[in-house]
Structure 1
Amino acid sequence: MNTWNIAVFEFKRYFKWKQEIISIALLLVGMGFSFVWPHVKGLLDKDYQVAVIGVSPLPKLEGFQFSEVSPTTRDEVLKNVGETWHAVIEIEDAQVKLTLKEKASWQAKLKSNLQSWQQERQIAQLPLSTEQRQQITQLPEIKTVMLKPEKDDKDEKGRAILSSAVLFLLMMGIFSGFGYLFTGITSEKQNRVTEQLLTLITPSQWIQGKILGISLFCLKTMLTYGLIFFAFIQGAAVIAGKPDISLPVSVFQLFSTLLFVVLGLLLVNSFMAAFAATIDDPNHSSRSIMMFLPALPVGLAYSGIDNAEGMMMQVLSVFPLTSFAAMPLRMAHTDVPMWQWGLSVGLLLACLWWFKSAATRVFTLGIRMYGKEPSWKQLLETFLFPVKHH
């Protein structure tokens, strides 16, 4: 009961309705601005006027207006560079000559387009047949035969969005837990409230309540922003006149993702709660950087997402310290054998159970120490062995 009371206290400690509404409102404003700004920028940005002297067909590039002018007006056109014209294009000895008034950032985009344009013109001037020109300018087709039914492009797009969302939300959950546990435990230790608390509850109840409460808060944060992002993506698709983006997720995949995320948050927060208790002064301790280690599994999972069927991703999705991030991503891209799924869940639960006991021992060691930090040897022995070493 004490563990659950602490969990509820830790959850309510950081969950404030007013702050929650303000955060969501600011997020919606930011996302709305990011969606509207490209359209506003497109309306405000003027087209660059480019004169093309005696050459056709004209280049085509968004944001630029190309106009063909007669070679007889060349001198007059060049005099107006920087006023009427932003740039002037000529062809001299099969080379494109670009006249500008001064250097500007938009010129790189124009130069890149002119290279392709001149290449097409030169190919068109070669004594080639129509079929030969097509062979040069067009990429050859590759006929693909799938023994299994090919997945819909719409499903693939939904899977890519789902993978990105899971990674982003996992990082958000991990770092929110990192911040709350780090500041909460170190401040309690510095304010010397641990003696009073330890007379009422055991260290095991204390750390498990903290882990559970903070993990629930992290999960709430992830679900809230996940729903907001999904609604924003759907709204953007509707406004753009595109079909709704559906996430090709079955009930089992949704359950699995939630299961691995919850177990992952509990595992990560166990590590951070235990390690935060060993830090005496967060402003001067060199160990604070170790609190960023839980982000490593997400990075490893991201590195293997381009080959979800590969051996590396299979290992990451089963290994208990990375499976909470890798398995949901792997399931979003490929079929996972049930025996691998069961093995992954079993190993993750076993690791979490062992981690909970080890974290409790480290927490008990660190929370009672003032003025110094336990040595790395003490930490390692306390973490690995259930019996305290002297």
Structure 2
Amino acid sequence: MTRWTVAVFEFQRYFKWKQELVSVGLMLLTVGIMSVWPAIKGWVDQDYKVALVSELAAPKVPGYAISQIRPDATDNARAGLGEVWDLLVLVDGAELKLVAQKSASWQDKLTPELQRWLQQQLIAGLPLDPAQKAVVQRLPKAEFEFLQQDNREESKQQKLLGGGILILLSVGVFSGFGFMFTAITSEKQQRVTEQLLTLITPSQWIDGKILGISLFCLKTMLTTGLFAFVVMQAIRMMSGKDLFALPLQPLPIVLTLVFVALGLLLINSFMAGFAATIDDPNHSSRSVVMFLPSLPLFLVFSAMDNTEGALMQFLSWFPLTSYAAMPMRLASTSVAWWEWLGALLVLLAFLYWARAAAARIFELGIRMYGKEPDWSELLRSFFLSSGKAIR
């Protein structure tokens, strides 16, 4: 029960209801604004007026009112730039000349449309029969045949989902780094460890910290992911696209949460143990070592372009990377039951050992003031049992 008391304290230490309500309110406000944004944009923005000097049929581009004018009216159109016209387009053979009062971002959107329009007009004017023109205008068709049933669009969505999981894991890892480092070093500097050690054991203390901060990191990941998903949907609504549906199944969702939660416990175990060995965070050269947990994420990121490859399979079994690699595989491809079960058992066993090792280092470091344990003491505490490490 004492462990859970510390865990609840550490979770509530950073979890603030008012902040959460404000975040939810901002999220709902964002959704509301983005939902009505297309109507607002259409009401505020007016079509840009473009004068086209050409005998070719004028193109139709949404958001632009393109009008053909006679060549003898070019000088009047040039003089009316900024008042009557927003842009003057001159067609000289296979070239376009665009004249405007000043540079604007909307011109970058219109220019490729005009280039494609002129290209189509030039192709239509070539002495080619209809079949030849169709060949020139059309890209060669490429069609895949899969021996197993596959959906390429769903596969793209799965890869996008895998990348999102990796980004959220980075949020959780660095959140744990900040909270754990701040909590432990501030407690050492404020000399509250003596009072706490009279009430609870170092093992109970570190377990509570790991559980509480890991729960808060998991909450941060979930709320960040939900906010990003809502913003992405709002952007698609603004652009007139269909809503994005996550290709999720119940079992991969549960397994992803389990692997991510165990990964946060593993990382925060390392951080709790090592942070206790830092006496003064402002002058200690060991603070940079606490960034090591980000290395596994980098390794998984480097292999995410081939989730079916041998490297990703190895990373999904290796306990220091499986918490990030296995969710990537689960989101991007099919994984046999014995693979995720085996990787889960390996991760659990490694977490059990790593937590015990971190507890020994935590007990060593939390009792020391004015100095930091040397590396030989750290290694002895890390690899030996508690009694042997103390001797």
TM-score bracket, normalised by the shorter chain, equals 0.7 to 0.9
Amino acid at match of 1:291: M
Q: Give the aligned partner of residue 96 of structure 2.
A: 96
Tell me if 1:204 matches 2:203.
Answer: yes
Counterpart-to-counterpart distance in 1, 2:19 and 2:102: 50
Amino acid at match of 1:200: L
Q: Give the aligned partner of residue 167 of structure 1.
A: 166
Task: Say whether the 8 Å CA contact 2:169–2:221 is kept in structure 1.
Answer: yes
User: SS where residue 306 of structure 1 aligns?
Assistant: coil
Tell me if 1:388 matches 2:389.
Answer: yes
Counterpart-to-counterpart distance in 1, 2:84 and 2:95: 24
Counterpart-to-counterpart distance in 1, 2:78 and 2:70: 12
Deviates more, 1:121-130 or 1:258-267: 121-130
Percent of matched pairs sharing the same residue:
52
Task: Say whether the 8 Å CA contact 2:34–2:235 is kept in structure 1.
Answer: no
Deviates more, 1:67-76 or 1:19-28: 19-28
Counterpart-to-counterpart distance in 1, 2:370 and 2:299: 37
Q: Give the aligned partner of residue 324 of structure 1.
A: 323
Q: Give the aligned partner of residue 2 of structure 1.
A: 2
Task: Say whether the 8 Å CA contact 2:358–2:382 is kept in structure 1.
Answer: yes
Q: CA deviation at 1:245?
A: 5.2
Amino acid at match of 1:388: A
Tell me if 1:121 matches 2:121.
Answer: yes
Counterpart-to-counterpart distance in 1, 2:27 and 2:13: 22
User: SS where residue 388 of structure 1 aligns?
Assistant: helix
Amino acid at match of 1:180: F
Counterpart-to-counterpart distance in 2, 1:175 and 1:53: 58
Residues 1:41 and 1:378: Cα distance change in structure 2 (over 3 Å)? farther
Task: Say whether the 8 Å CA contact 2:11–2:213 is kept in structure 1.
Answer: yes
Q: CA deviation at 1:376?
A: 4.4
What TM-score, normalized to structure 1?
0.87
Counterpart-to-counterpart distance in 1, 2:35 and 2:178: 30
Gaps of 5+ in 2: none
Deviates more, 1:74-83 or 1:33-42: 33-42
Q: Give the aligned partner of residue 49 of structure 2.
A: 49
Q: CA deviation at 1:324?
A: 0.7
Residues 1:127 and 1:380: Cα distance change in structure 2 (over 3 Å)? farther
Counterpart-to-counterpart distance in 1, 2:97 and 2:239: 39
Tell me if 1:15 matches 2:15.
Answer: yes
Counterpart-to-counterpart distance in 2, 1:244 and 1:63: 23
Residues 1:217 and 1:95: Cα distance change in structure 2 (over 3 Å)? closer
Tell me if 1:180 matches 2:179.
Answer: yes
For 1:20-79, what per-residue CA distance to the aligned partner results, in whole angstroms no more than 9, with x for missing partners? 222322343345445555653454233221111123222343432211111121221121
Residues 1:143 and 1:122: Cα distance change in structure 2 (over 3 Å)? same
Q: CA deviation at 1:119?
A: 2.3
Q: Give the aligned partner of residue 293 of structure 2.
A: 294
For 1:173-204, what per-residue CA distance to the aligned partner results, in whole angstroms no more than 9, with x for missing partners? 32332222122111111100111212222212
Deviates more, 1:216-225 or 1:310-319: 216-225
Counterpart-to-counterpart distance in 2, 1:167 and 1:316: 14
Task: Say whether the 8 Å CA contact 2:35–2:234 is kept in structure 1.
Answer: no
Counterpart-to-counterpart distance in 2, 1:179 and 1:24: 23
Gaps of 5+ in 1: none
Amino acid at match of 1:72: D
User: SS where residue 335 of structure 1 aligns?
Assistant: coil
Task: Say whether the 8 Å CA contact 2:35–2:238 is kept in structure 1.
Answer: no
Amino acid at match of 2:48: Y
Q: Give the aligned partner of residue 149 of structure 2.
A: 149
Q: Give the aligned partner of residue 357 of structure 1.
A: 356
Q: CA deviation at 1:335?
A: 1.1
Counterpart-to-counterpart distance in 1, 2:55 and 2:123: 15
Residues 1:97 and 1:17: Cα distance change in structure 2 (over 3 Å)? closer
Residues 1:157 and 1:239: Cα distance change in structure 2 (over 3 Å)? farther
Task: Say whether the 8 Å CA contact 2:3–2:207 is kept in structure 1.
Answer: yes
Counterpart-to-counterpart distance in 1, 2:311 and 2:60: 45
Amino acid at match of 2:19: Q
Q: Give the aligned partner of residue 63 of structure 1.
A: 63
Q: CA deviation at 1:263?
A: 0.6
Counterpart-to-counterpart distance in 1, 2:216 and 2:325: 22
Amino acid at match of 2:88: V
Name segments (4+ residues, structure 1) moved above 6 Å.
Answer: 231-244
Q: CA deviation at 1:160?
A: 4.7
Q: Give the aligned partner of residue 284 of structure 2.
A: 285
Counterpart-to-counterpart distance in 1, 2:240 and 2:118: 35
Q: Give the aligned partner of residue 307 of structure 1.
A: 306
User: SS where residue 139 of structure 1 aligns?
Assistant: coil
Counterpart-to-counterpart distance in 2, 1:373 and 1:37: 57
Task: Say whether the 8 Å CA contact 2:177–2:271 is kept in structure 1.
Answer: yes
Pairing 1:97-112 to 2, within 5 Å after superposition: 97-112=97-112
Task: Say whether the 8 Å CA contact 2:37–2:238 is kept in structure 1.
Answer: no
Deviates more, 1:8-17 or 1:252-261: 8-17
